[in-house]
Structure 1
Amino acid sequence: MDRWRGKVAIVTGASAGIGAAIAEKLVEEGLQVVGFARRHQRIEARSQKLKNHKGKLYAVKVDVTQEEDILKGFKWVAENVGPVHILINNAGVLQHTNLTSGDTSKWKKVFDTNVLGVCIATREAVKIMKANKIDGHIVNINSICGHRVPYTFPDANVFPASKYALRAVTETLQQELQSLGLKIKVSSVSPGAVYTEIIRATVSQSLDSTFADTLKTMPTLQATDVAEAVLYALSTPPHVQIEDIIIRPVGDLI
């Protein structure tokens, strides 16, 4: 990680869970980390706890479903911290509905967050990396649901579809960057069940009580487990690209 020390990293959805764990690990490694989130106050509070570490954590209020927010966020980073070297597309959402009688607005929120928000943030990061001749790294936080549709997940509705789409976006981006002759690396990290606010919300809001009971007892990863996988991908030599890491808890039921 030495070559990234002092460089700028943007982490979306950095207010809690996996995003917060990744941001903290990067600050400990000496990076200048900018956390994007709607609940930016949480990031500000965490930055105070991390002020004695090698790096620094900044908070910027960004709703990744709003393109204007993303553009303003990148502009703020460029003007106040520096050109981005690492982008961690972590922000994601799961809405509790179904396909057969579901809520269109909830479907749209899933795709706007999990797919379009990633595309917009990635486009802006690549522009900056290209203009500044930065061999950067983009990491997309996907899901085991991007590799198969779990039959144990009745409330997932379009969530797996969004993660399959993200997987295709990641592979397409790798091909585009290669065709342009850019040495920007692209990695995907696909965890199984992680004990975060999404899991807790799923338990409390599930339309299926049997599924909610299963979630309470099934094996889960910790957010720090996923953060360590991200650091592994980032720490590889410049000629090595980790395309996808699938990380699951032992005995995973999803």
Structure 2
Amino acid sequence: MDRWVGRVALVTGASVGIGAAICRKLVECGLVVVGCARNVEKIRKLGEGLESAKGKLHAYQCDLSKEEEILTLFEWIKSNVGGVDVCINNAGFGDYGTLLGPEATVSAWKSMLDVNVIALCLCTKEAVNSMRERGVDDGQIIHISSLSGHRVPISPGNHFYSATKFCVRSLTEGHRQELRDLKTNIRVAAISPGFVATDFFVNALHSTSSNAESVTDLFSTMKPIDPVDVADSVVYILSTPPHVQVHDILMRPTQQKT
């Protein structure tokens, strides 16, 4: 990780869970991290606990569903810390409901697309532009995806969310091909976790589905992945030699069924 010391990483959805764990890990490794989320106070509090670390955490408030706020975020990064060398698209959410039931709404589908797909694409585009403007040829893009982008879950409340993650899977390969065609060594990877011990699954399992399991019932059957386990995978990707491109890491609790 020595070559990343002092360089700039953007982490979206940085206030809690996986995003917060990634911020902590990268700051400890010596990177300058810009963590963005709508709830910026949690990121500031995280930064206070990292003041003695090798790197530094900047908190930036951003609603990723709004194009103008994403563009302003990248302008702030350029003006204050120089530009993005690592972009970790962690932000994502599921508005749980069936595809055909009364709770299925266009607004819910659009909200998931805005954050899980459109924001990921825009942040990636702006990050790559930032790298190329400054002659950075060894940057890294990492999409935090999901196992739901590799198989359709049997829970009907997850189907549209799963569709957005299948889209991320396709975009990862699309980004790889376009970066190669640009004759750049900027790499792209995805990490697709299964059940992780975060608030995400609290929301997921208290869906409108009448047979949804409780978080307690689910996690009593297995030890879930910890957010730091995902953060360790980020460090692994960054630690590989520049000529090695890790494409997709699938990770799940040992006892997870699917």
Instruction: Provide the TM-score with structure 2 as the length reference.
Output: 0.95
SS in 1 for 2:213: helix
Work out the CA distance in 2 between the residues paired with 1:206 and 1:231.
Answer: 37
What is the CA deviation profile of residues 33-91 of structure 1, one whole-angstrom value per residue up to 9, with x for unaligned ones? Answer: 00010001110111001011000000001111111111111111110112110000000
Would you identify which runs of 4 or more consecutive aligned residues in structure 1 move more than 6 Å?
none
Name the amino acid aligned to 1:227: A
Q: Give 1:34's aligned residue.
A: 34
What secondary structure, in the 3-state scheme, does the structure 1 residue paired with 2:47 have? helix
* Correspondence list, 1:53-64, <5 A: 53-64=53-64
CA distance in 1, matches of 2:164, 2:43: 26
Is 1:86 aligned to 2:86, yes or no? yes
Report the equivalent of 1:176: 178
Structure 2: which amino acid aligns with 1:164?
Answer: F
**What does residue 7 of structure 1 align with?**
7
SS at match of 2:200: helix
Contact persistence 1:129–1:136 (CA under 8 A): yes
Hey, what does 1:49 align to over in structure 2? 49
1:89–1:218 Cα change, 3 Å:
farther
Quick check: 69-78 or 199-208, which moved more? Answer: 199-208
Identify if the C-alpha distance between structure 1 residues 127 and 100 changes in structure 2 by more than 3 Å, giving closer, same or farther: same
Name the residue aligned to 1:147: 150
Deviation at 1:201, TM superposition (A): 1.8
Asked whether the equivalents of residues 5 and 31 of structure 1 are also in contact (C-alpha less than 8 Å), the reply is yes
Unaligned residue ranges in structure 1 (runs of 5+) = none
Alignment map for 1:1-254 (pairs within 5 Å)? 1-101=1-101, 102-134=104-136, 135-151=138-154, 153-212=155-214, 214-219=217-222, 220-254=224-258
Whole-Å Cα distance in 1 between the matches of residues 130 and 249 of structure 2?
26
Residue type of the partner of 1:137? Q
Instruction: Give the % identical residues.
Output: 43
Q: Secondary structure at the match of 1:44?
A: helix
DSSP 3-state at the match of 1:57? strand
TM-score (normalizing by structure 1): 0.96
In structure 2, distance between residues paired with 1:113 and 1:210: 24
Structure 1 distance, partners of 2:151, 2:211, is 23
Q: Match of 1:225, as an amino acid? A: D
Q: Report Cα offsets for 1:98-130 as digits up to 9, x if no partner.
A: 100211111111111100010000010010111
User: What's the offset of the Cα at 1:210?
Assistant: 4.2
- CA separation in 1, counterparts of 2:157 and 2:186? 36
Compute the displacement of 1:253 (Å): 3.1
The one-letter code of the counterpart of 2:146 is: S
Instruction: Tell whether the 8 Å contact from 1:139 to 1:187 is kept in structure 2 after alignment.
Output: yes
Alignment partners' CA distance in 2, 1:88 and 1:218? 31
The answer to whether the 8 Å contact 1:146/1:160 transfers is yes
| Paired residues, number | 253
CA-CA distance at 1:217 after TM superposition: 2.9
Query: 2: CA distance between counterparts of 1:252 and 1:88?
Result: 26
